[in-house]
């Protein structure tokens, strides 16, 4: 999950807000990560998570969001779930 307050105005780049609540209010899918993406608010490259959102391809970067990694920004590291697939015979 994530606190989606900064997602509502996201248009691209790496989102790295200085202040964002860690109270989760939106489910998202973490699909990858990057080591250096430009974060406009920080004026330098930062490591980031790649998140797939449910708001469609017209939002963000074709439906994806990049957020700073390693600082629990907007609570993204607070509640992580995973699924293990079992192949049926």
Q: Does 3 participate in catalysis according to the annotation? A: no
Catalytic residue among 3, 53, 72, 89: 53
Burial per residue of 23-56, b for 16 or more beta-carbon CB atoms within 10 angstroms, e otherwise: ebebebebeeeeeebebeeeeeebbbbbbebeee
Catalytic residue among 3, 26, 72, 89: 26
Q: Does 53 participate in catalysis according to the annotation? A: yes
Which residues are known to be catalytic?
Answer: 26, 53
């Amino acid at each position: 999950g994530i606190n989606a307050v900064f997602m509502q105005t996201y248009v691209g780049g790496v989102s790295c807000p200085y202040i964002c609540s860690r109270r989760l209010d939106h489910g998202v899918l973490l699909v990858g990560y990057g080591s250096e993406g430009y974060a406009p608010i920080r004026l330098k490259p930062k490591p980031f998570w790649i998140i797939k959102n449910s708001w469609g391809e017209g939002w963000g970067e074709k439906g994806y969001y990049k957020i700073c990694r390693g600082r629990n920004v907007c609570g993204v590291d607070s509640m992580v779930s995973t699924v293990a697939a079992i192949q049926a015979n």
